Amino acid sequence: MKIRIRTLIPVLLALPVTIMAGTLAADELAEREQAARQASGEFVKQLGAALKKALAEGGPEAAIGVCRDIAPQITGKISRENGWRMTRVSSKVRNPLLGMPDAWEQKGLSDFELRAGQGEKYPDMVISKVVEESGVRYYRFMKPIPAQPLCLICHGSDEQLPEGVKAELASNYPMDRARGYRVGELRGAVSIKQPMGIPLQAPSRQVDLP
CB of 161 to ligand HEC, least distance (A): 9
Q: Residue 126 in contact with residue 37, Cβ under 8 Å?
A: yes
CB-wise, 98 or 116, nearer to ligand HEC? 98
* Amino acid (1-letter code) at residue 16: P
List the beta strands (DSSP E) in 48-154: 85-89, 127-133, 136-146
CB-wise, 60 or 108, nearer to ligand HEC? 60
Residues 69, 89, 191: CA angle, nearest 5 degrees: 100
Of 138, 147, 140, 74, the C-alpha closest to 105 is: 140
Of 19, 198, 187, the C-alpha closest to 91 is: 187
Site size with ligand HEC, rule: CB under 6 A: 25
Distance CA 99, CA 187 (A): 11
CB of 97 to ligand HEC, least distance (A): 7
Site string for ligand HEC, 135-174 (x = CB under 6 A): ----------x-xx-xx-xxx-------------------
Site string for ligand HEC, 16-55 (x = CB under 6 A): --------------------------------x--x----
CB of 101 to ligand HEC, least distance (A): 9
90 binds ligand HEC (CB under 6 A): yes
Of 144, 123, 128, the C-alpha closest to 32 is: 128
Site string for ligand HEC, 177-196 (x = CB under 6 A): -x--------xx--------
CB of 159 to ligand HEC, least distance (A): 16
Q: Residue 54 in contact with residue 63, Cβ under 8 Å?
A: yes
Q: Residue 137 in contact with residue 131, Cβ under 8 Å?
A: yes
54-83 residues near ligand HEC, rule: CB under 6 A: 60, 63-64, 67-68
| Intra-chain end-to-end CA distance of the chain, in Å | 69
Q: Could you list the residues that contact ligand HEC (CB under 6 A)?
A: 48, 51, 60, 63-64, 67-68, 88, 90, 93-95, 98-99, 145, 147-148, 150-151, 153-155, 178, 187-188
